[in-house]
């Protein structure tokens, strides 16, 4: 009986500790949706990811590795609401997805984390269908076709002749010189005069002294070059230089599956029948790259206004308050909205003039970006919280905003209109102690109101004294349990702080355990006969392992570039390990993009090889 009473007391203590240590309810959500459940292989799919939270900013989603789609950012919109001091933020990120393969495809689960909690949007299913054959028009004009004598010969890698390659890629910019922050558009066109086994995979170029923004969607069309008819896909991006001096656009790469069968003319009237008959054939993976490009970034001219803070573009500015009437002590939201075209992400908050009639609290910003007509535009809103100090008609003076207009080549300074507020007398209970300094003899401090209001005069509950008595009645060893819980919470908090302060190092150290967990999942799938899913997990896990070790997303690189990166980052890596990395990468990639080639025995061998390679790399990648 005594033991039962002791157990009951211990249980009460644990429940009390759990109640007291429970964190405050947080609010972080993420949702993902597509504009349509089905899309043609040559079409585009819009993916909208919405992140909401109860803070001034929310984390940006990190899209998972999607090998079956090419992904382009299409813009974002953000809204912030402040009601009775409670801040709620919602940001919608829009992406355009172009499918690479026909069939049922999966958009993996998308997660966001703010360091304290994690929210996950479930995976989405999309059906990718074949392109619908356009209806033939009456007496269509025959497209130009290469003459037999000028038809490019078949070459390994889809090369054709030197002057008329069957497949090539070209990059060019709309300007060779620009100012820091001025938009530069780059166009990357992929040309082909032969059919491909799937939509190509695009690996964007790396940049030096430049940042980029996608300009979707992908444009497609047909053109005639020197008597050869090409189909092309065009990808555009907006570039913004960071500093004066040279800037470089490195090579962009397209990985395409080129059929190994005889060439089929894409403009043949029976092209679709011939193409469908060979669609199941295994193609050859080939890489095509652009030439590097150089840009000259000019310094901004002298004579910038005093308030200039680096904004480049063409903007307007507007000031407004969320209300025209307020009371003393009540918060008023003052918004300064900068609208126009340019790198809005780099625009900083305008400095407010001296506001003696208000208490001014920290600013918050929201960003809406549009990408229309190959121009980055939108608006950025800065919200200041003002609290009136006294009643009467109060004026927020005009706010200055300066920027450099690259088209006109001059600096411009704008002013907002003053914002008027009618401040009424606040509630008596909301008043605080007033200090009235003057040159005269200081008077005594007098309270103009009270900041304490009694909510109840009833006697308090005896629950806490009872719980305190129960806790003190426990034996000494029972107090070790809450102490252990407290130590565990300290350890977890320390781990989270280390993870937040050193995310790359944390991923580097956790790469092995994550890979081992994925290998365990693979073995279960092989036993269940799901070899295709097992290969997909192995491939994604292998890419994630190398990415966590290198600190770079290697799935966006070619095998050669990834190996060069590993050699440069880890000089101790052996040639044997490099060969194993390349062989496993090629084998997994082949089976990942050709699921029919995945067999149980072969998949099991790849999982075993992956496990052994990890043991080897853990000794060398240090």
Does one domain contain both 276 and 356? no
pLDDT tens per residue across span 112-132 = 887 778 888 999 999 999 877
The percent of residues in the chain predicted with pLDDT above 90, rounded, is 25
Count helices and strands (H / E) in the chain.
9, 31
Q: Cα 18–510–530 angle (5° rounding)?
A: 100
- Report the range out of 29-43, 258-272, 475-489, 562-576 with the highest average pLDDT: 29-43
Among 267, 297, 327, residue at a domain's last position? 297
Number of other residues whose CB lies within 10 A of the CB of residue 126 = 20
- Whether 253 shows a pLDDT value over 80: the answer reads yes
Say which DSSP state 227 is in.
T
- Whether 27 shows a pLDDT value over 80: the answer reads no
Does one domain contain both 225 and 336? no
Does one domain contain both 522 and 615? yes
By the 8 A CB rule, do 291 and 171 touch?
Answer: yes
Does one domain contain both 285 and 337? no
Q: Any idea which of 246-250, 431-435, 472-476 has the lowest mean pLDDT?
A: 431-435
Does one domain contain both 549 and 595? yes
Does one domain contain both 279 and 350? no
Query: Which two tokens mark 312?
Result: 């480049």
Look at 466 and 72; give whichever has higher pLDDT: 72
Q: How many domains does the chain have?
A: 4
Look at 604 and 127; give whichever has higher pLDDT: 127
- Whether 359 shows a pLDDT value over 90: the answer reads no
By the 8 A CB rule, do 219 and 213 touch?
Answer: no
Does one domain contain both 114 and 194? no
Domain-embedded: residue 386? yes
Say which DSSP state 265 is in.
-
Domain-embedded: residue 601? yes
- Whether 169 shows a pLDDT value over 60: the answer reads yes
- Whether 299 shows a pLDDT value over 90: the answer reads yes
Does one domain contain both 39 and 173? no
Number of other residues whose CB lies within 10 A of the CB of residue 110 = 22
Among 98, 129, 160, residue at a domain's last position? 129
- Whether 171 shows a pLDDT value over 90: the answer reads yes
Domain-embedded: residue 58? yes
Question: Residue 395 is part of which domain span?
Answer: 314-429
Q: What is the distance between the terminal CA atoms of the chain, rounded to a whole angstrom?
A: 59
Domain-embedded: residue 486? no
Query: Which two tokens mark 92?
Result: 């919608």
d(CA 329, CA 527): 68
The phi and psi torsions of 514 (rounded to 5 degrees) equal: -65, -40
Q: Tokens 């585009």 sit at which residue?
A: 44
Q: What is the pTM of this model?
A: 0.56
pLDDT of residue 32: 92
Query: Which two tokens mark 475?
Result: 């034996």
pLDDT tens per residue across span 511-551 = 888 888 888 888 888 888 888 788 888 888 888 888 888 87
Say which DSSP state 270 is in.
T
Among 376, 400, 429, residue at a domain's last position? 429
Q: Cα 595–599–602 angle (5° rounding)?
A: 115
Does one domain contain both 53 and 97? yes
- Whether 282 shows a pLDDT value over 80: the answer reads no
Domain-embedded: residue 358? yes
Does one domain contain both 95 and 60? yes
| Average pLDDT score over the chain | 78
Which CATH number fits the domain that encloses residue 288?
2.60.40
Domain-embedded: residue 458? no
Which CATH number fits the domain that encloses residue 67?
2.60.40.10
Domain-embedded: residue 236? yes
Domain-embedded: residue 194? yes
- Whether 448 shows a pLDDT value over 50: the answer reads no
Which CATH number fits the domain that encloses residue 559?
1.20.120
pLDDT of residue 338: 95
pLDDT of residue 404: 95
Does one domain contain both 81 and 185? no
Does one domain contain both 98 and 192? no
């Amino acid at each position: 009986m005594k033991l039962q009473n002791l157990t009951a007391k211990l249980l009460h203590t644990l429940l009390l500790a759990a109640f007291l240590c429970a964190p405050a309810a947080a609010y972080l959500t993420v949702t993902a949706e597509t504009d349509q459940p089905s899309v043609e292989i040559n079409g585009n799919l819009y993916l909208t990811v919405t992140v909401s939270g109860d803070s001034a900013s929310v984390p940006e989603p990190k899209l998972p590795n999607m090998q079956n789609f090419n992904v382009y950012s299409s813009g974002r919109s953000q809204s912030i609401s402040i009601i009775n001091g409670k801040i709620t933020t919602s940001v919608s990120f829009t992406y355009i997805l172009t499918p690479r393969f026909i069939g049922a495809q999966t958009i993996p689960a998308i997660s966001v984390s703010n360091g304290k909690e994690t929210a996950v949007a479930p995976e989405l299913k999309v059906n990718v269908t074949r392109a619908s054959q356009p209806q033939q028009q009456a007496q269509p004009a025959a497209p130009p076709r290469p003459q037999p004598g000028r038809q490019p010969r078949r070459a390994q890698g889809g090369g054709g002749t030197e002057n008329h390659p069957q497949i090539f890629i070209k990059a060019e910019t709309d300007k060779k010189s620009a100012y820091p922050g001025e938009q530069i558009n780059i166009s990357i066109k992929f040309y082909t005069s032969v059919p491909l086994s799937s939509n190509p995979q695009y690996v964007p170029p790396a940049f030096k002294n430049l940042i980029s923004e996608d300009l979707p969607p992908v444009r497609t069309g047909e053109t005639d070059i020197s008597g050869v008819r090409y189909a092309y896909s065009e990808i555009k991006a907006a570039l913004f230089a960071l500093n004066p001096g040279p800037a470089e656009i490195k090579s962009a790469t397209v990985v395409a599956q080129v059929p190994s069968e005889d060439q089929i003319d894409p403009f043949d009237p029976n092209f679709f029948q011939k193409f469908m008959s060979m669609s199941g054939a295994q193609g050859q993976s080939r890489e095509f790259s652009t030439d590097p490009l150089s840009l000259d970034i000019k310094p901004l001219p002298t004579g910038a206004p005093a308030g200039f803070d680096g904004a480049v573009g063409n903007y307007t500015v507007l000031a407004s308050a969320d209300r025209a009437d307020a009371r003393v002590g009540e918060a008023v939201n003052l918004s300064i909205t900068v609208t126009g075209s340019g790198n809005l992400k780099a625009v900083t908050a305008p400095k407010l003039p001296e506001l003696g009639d208000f208490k001014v609290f920290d600013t918050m910003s929201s960003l809406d970006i549009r990408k229309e007509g190959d121009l980055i535009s939108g608006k950025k809103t800065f919200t200041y919280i003002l609290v009136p100090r006294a009643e009467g008609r109060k004026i927020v003076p005009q706010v200055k905003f300066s920027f450099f207009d690259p088209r006109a080549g001059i600096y411009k300074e704008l002013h907002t209109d003053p914002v008027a507020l009618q401040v009424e007398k606040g509630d008596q209970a909301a008043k605080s102690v007033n200090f009235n300094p003057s040159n005269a003899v200081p008077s005594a401090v007098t309270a103009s109101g009270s900041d304490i209001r009694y909510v109840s005069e009833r006697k308090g509950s005896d629950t806490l004294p009872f719980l305190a008595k129960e806790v003190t009645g426990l034996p000494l060893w029972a107090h070790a349990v809450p102490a252990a819980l407290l130590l565990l919470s300290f350890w977890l908090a320390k781990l989270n702080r280390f993870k937040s302060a050193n995310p790359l190092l944390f991923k580097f150290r956790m790469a092995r355990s994550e890979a081992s967990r994925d290998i365990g999942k693979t073995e279960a799938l092989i036993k269940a006969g799901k070899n295709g899913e097992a290969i997909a997990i192995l491939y994604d896990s292998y890419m994630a392992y190398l990415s966590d070790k290198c600190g770079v997303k290697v799935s966006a690189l070619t095998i050669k570039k990834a190996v060069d990166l590993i050699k440069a980052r880890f000089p101790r890596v052996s040639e044997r390990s490099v060969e194993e990395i390349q062989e496993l990468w090629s084998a997994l990639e082949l089976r990942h993009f050709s699921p029919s080639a995945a067999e149980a025995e072969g998949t099991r061998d790849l999982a075993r090889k992956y496990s052994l390679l990890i043991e080897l790399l853990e000794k060398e990648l240090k």
